[in-house]
A and B are shown apart, each in its own frame.
Chain A
Amino acid sequence: MKVAYWPGCVSRGFTPELHGSMAKVAPLLDIELVELDRGNCCGAGVIAEHNQELADTLNARTFALAQQVEGAELMMNICSTCQGAQTECQERLDANAQYRAHVNETLSSDGLTYEKGLTNKNFLWLLVEEIGLDTLASKVRRPLTNLKVGPFYGCYIVRPRNRLGIDDEHPRDHYMERLIEALGGTVIEYAGMRKCCGFPIITMNKDASLKQAGTHLGDAMDAEADCLVTPCPLCHLNLDLQQPLAAKVVARKLEMPVLHLPQLVGLALGLDPKDLGLSRHVVKPTSVIDWSTSVVASAA
């Protein structure tokens, strides 16, 4: 399937391994990525905090660009925060025709118009709802046997449920568990899996921020996870990049690799850990690499 692909900022900035692994994984799943390289930052809720109309208009611009991609079935993102921030803006744009017209008026000088009703799905949702976990499972070359994986969703992709379309038919706040199982792995549930990583207040209350990250990482260690997986690169920054600092704040040793969602999928689809950028993490995913080596060894 062809999608208007919105990679977000961080996947092309501080977590390039996310963008890279997505590019590697897509063809294996017959996803054609048409990158929205003209799109702009979603604002991460911060621009909305400054000026809501500005955030709405900026996102309407990206949406309008997505709607111009010919043959694309939908817009896909790879960042929980983009998903949440964009959906919030879209909610307002879709709810009120007058407001939509008002925002489109601002966009008009660039020949852009946002039309109500864009479908914008995170890669996670797309895997479950568009590709299907059965199809995905059939493509698995290296099942995640014996790999104990803890999901870390990121707030923006699980709350609020109504806005994000989470309901009985679309239990999107449980897709990660299903996905890990479909890839052959073992799901590790732990207290922090749907909590906040702390990133939004890292510059405002560093202690509280790192305490959040550290607590969740510690909980995952106590639950004996080999690694975490997250669809959110901002969570990744606090959980991986800041892990050494978080360890100091919670005063315990932390050694918890955190994978991006496409990396985990890529591993199961048989890609080389190196190609997926696993070596670029601050916390070396030794357990995961060892695991993949052992799988390769036993296969040999």
Chain B
Amino acid sequence: MSSTTTAPRSSVPQAFKLRVRRYDPESGQAAYWDEHEIELEGHRSVLEGILQAKNRFDGSIGIRCSCRQAICGSCGVRINGEPALACHTHLDEAIKSAKDGVIEIEPMGNMPVIKDLIVDMDAVHWKKVRRVTPWLIAKQPVPEREYIVDRESMVDVTQTMACIQCGACVSDCLAMEVDPGFIGPAALAKAYRFVGDPRDDARHVRLNDLSQDPQGIYDCTHCFKCVEACPKDVNPMGQIMRLRRIAGSDEQIVDVNNGHRHEEAFTTLIRDYGLLHEAELLPRSYGGDSWFGKFHPAAGKELLSSLPAIVKAVVKGKVSPTKAIFGHKIAKRDLDSVKRIYERVEGKPQRYELNLYIVGEDE
């Protein structure tokens, strides 16, 4: 769907085969596949294909849908295994990723199926949204007219405001797949919508809340699945990283997952070595300044449990004991150059962050 070509579109309908995952909770039967052949122009949407099948062959196919233009967020499904809005995926695009020439449509993942392509969003998605106190806690006193705020700040939060709550990112969140309690991409993007809003009075409280929850902002595996899944360019993972940045770097919040310490450790290691020193990363992440230094008390156990892996690496000859302890680094003049970058960038009174959503790309 990202194509910006303006090549003429064919007005000739062609046949497409759709394989739809069906599930009827009243039948007592397991889910099964159902195939229909529909006829539409290639640039028409998968939703239109499903609706044609529904209208012509089987009205019992269940799918939520309404606007047909990717704004109501109803028709989140998986198409050929990937999450998408059915109305926002062209048939001729979908057929390209079809394994055997048949477009496969399934309900979204990470949420229980109610019927056919309809999932229980309330049990998962909305529950998580409600978890992040999803409303503005307005700064007092409320002005008589509008709050005077930066133009850019409103454009910025409009990116997360543009989330249509379709659940596509939730469907394939890989962290949620192994840890269903993870607050998840959509709800955390929603959290940024308030954290980034200069009218909100609870920035620190919100960030602290999301940092002290072990399934909060530091439970994201950084897999980009949500970035890819989002039909509205909300960039949920990017927003989670911004939440971490603001929580850790600006608000100095120490989280329960050790995420901020890990990030500090990583960052200072690169300052000190220019390259990553894996063995040293562990103790630093756990709150010490080195293997030989002092650890955060709670970290001892965690750290010890990581030791076998390090020892194994040394035993296996992957790493020489010297390297495991002292690491590798770049030459001094380059290290100096790296340090200068740190000093200049970190020495600024305010962190600067280029946001392409706001500034756009050069012509």
Check whether chain A touches chain B (CB < 8 angstroms): yes
A208 proximity list for chain B (CB < 8 A): 175, 178-179, 182, 219, 221
Q: Looking at the assembled complex, report how far the CB atom of A263 sits from the nearest CB atom of chain B, in whole angstroms.
A: 13
Of the candidates B178, B259, B345, the one whose C-beta lies within 8 Å of that of A51 is B345
Of the candidates A12, A99, A102, the one whose C-beta lies within 8 Å of that of B328 is A12
B354 touches A49 (CB 8 A): no
Chain-A contact segment, one of B21-29, B45-53, B133-141, B262-270: B262-270
B228 touches A10 (CB 8 A): no
A2 proximity list for chain B (CB < 8 A): none
How far is A177 from B35 in the complex, measured between Cα atoms in Å?
A: 28
Known A196-B223, A280-B318; contact A46-B275, beta-carbon cutoff 8 A? no
The proximity string for B residues 174-217 relative to A, scoring 1 for CB distances below 8 Å and 0 otherwise, is 11011100100000000000000000000000000000001100
Q: Is B353 an interface residue (CB 8 A)?
A: yes
B354 touches A96 (CB 8 A): yes
B220 touches A50 (CB 8 A): no
A203 proximity list for chain B (CB < 8 A): 258-259, 262, 281-282, 285-286, 302
B270 touches A41 (CB 8 A): yes
B221 proximity list for chain A (CB < 8 A): 155, 196, 198, 200-201, 208-209, 212
Q: Is B304 an interface residue (CB 8 A)?
A: no
Which residues of B, 322-346, contact A by the 8 Å Cβ criterion?
A: 323, 327-328, 330-331, 334, 337-338, 340-342, 344-346
Chain-A contact segment, one of B56-64, B121-129, B149-157, B309-317: B309-317
A205 touches B219 (CB 8 A): yes
Q: Is A120 an interface residue (CB 8 A)?
A: no
Chain-A contact segment, one of B11-19, B158-166, B355-363: B355-363
Q: Is A15 an interface residue (CB 8 A)?
A: yes
A195 touches B223 (CB 8 A): yes
How far is A162 from B175 in the complex, measured between Cα atoms in Å?
A: 22
Q: Is A72 an interface residue (CB 8 A)?
A: no
Of the candidates A13, A50, A97, A160, the one whose C-beta lies within 8 Å of that of B245 is A50
What are 18 A-B pairs with beta-carbon distances under 8 A? A12-B328, A13-B323, A16-B318, A44-B266, A47-B266, A49-B248, A51-B346, A58-B338, A92-B354, A102-B352, A159-B224, A162-B2, A196-B225, A198-B221, A201-B222, A204-B258, A205-B257, A244-B308
Q: Is B276 an interface residue (CB 8 A)?
A: yes
A14 touches B319 (CB 8 A): yes
B275 touches A96 (CB 8 A): no
B362 touches A48 (CB 8 A): no
Of the candidates B228, B264, B354, B361, the one whose C-beta lies within 8 Å of that of A52 is B354
B353 proximity list for chain A (CB < 8 A): 52-53
Q: Is B80 an interface residue (CB 8 A)?
A: no
Q: Is B274 an interface residue (CB 8 A)?
A: yes
A207 proximity list for chain B (CB < 8 A): 179
Across chains A and B, which 6 residue pairs bring their CB atoms closest together, nearest first? A159-B224, A9-B276, A196-B223, A204-B257, A208-B179, A95-B361
How far is A107 from B2 in the complex, measured between Cα atoms in Å?
A: 35
How far is A212 from B177 in the complex, measured between Cα atoms in Å?
A: 9
Q: Is A37 an interface residue (CB 8 A)?
A: yes
A211 proximity list for chain B (CB < 8 A): 178-179
B356 proximity list for chain A (CB < 8 A): 91-92, 95-96
B20 proximity list for chain A (CB < 8 A): none
Q: Looking at the assembled complex, report how far the CB atom of B342 sits from the nearest CB atom of chain A, in whole angstroms.
A: 7
B241 touches A96 (CB 8 A): no
Which residues of A, 6-20, contact B by the 8 Å Cβ criterion?
A: 9-10, 12-17
A57 touches B267 (CB 8 A): no
A159 touches B225 (CB 8 A): yes
A139 proximity list for chain B (CB < 8 A): none
Known A13-B328, A38-B330, A204-B219; contact A161-B228, beta-carbon cutoff 8 A? yes
Q: Is A67 an interface residue (CB 8 A)?
A: no
Of the candidates A40, A160, A196, A241, the one whose C-beta lies within 8 Å of that of B338 is A40
Of the candidates A45, A206, A237, the one whose C-beta lies within 8 Å of that of B241 is A45
B264 touches A50 (CB 8 A): yes
B290 proximity list for chain A (CB < 8 A): none
Q: Is B78 an interface residue (CB 8 A)?
A: no
Q: Looking at the assembled complex, report how far the CB atom of A199 sits from the nearest CB atom of chain B, in whole angstroms.
A: 8
**Max chain A Cβ within 10 angstroms of own Cβ: one of B182, B309, B351:** B309
B115 proximity list for chain A (CB < 8 A): none
A10 proximity list for chain B (CB < 8 A): 276, 278
How far is A200 from B175 in the complex, measured between Cα atoms in Å?
A: 11
Of the candidates A159, A205, A242, the one whose C-beta lies within 8 Å of that of B214 is A205
Of the candidates A46, A168, A244, the one whose C-beta lies within 8 Å of that of B266 is A46
Of the candidates B175, B223, B244, B278, the one whose C-beta lies within 8 Å of that of A49 is B244
A109 touches B270 (CB 8 A): no
Q: Looking at the assembled complex, report how far the CB atom of B104 sits from the nearest CB atom of chain A, in whole angstroms.
A: 15
How far is A102 from B352 in the complex, measured between Cα atoms in Å?
A: 11
Known A205-B179, A281-B316; contact A241-B309, beta-carbon cutoff 8 A? yes
A58 touches B331 (CB 8 A): no
B223 touches A13 (CB 8 A): no
B313 touches A96 (CB 8 A): no
B174 touches A212 (CB 8 A): yes
A17 touches B259 (CB 8 A): no
The proximity string for A residues 180-205 relative to B, scoring 1 for CB distances below 8 Å and 0 otherwise, is 00000000000000011010110111
A50 touches B267 (CB 8 A): yes
Q: Looking at the assembled complex, report how far the CB atom of A48 sits from the nearest CB atom of chain B, in whole angstroms.
A: 7
Of the candidates B2, B218, B276, B309, the one whose C-beta lies within 8 Å of that of A242 is B309
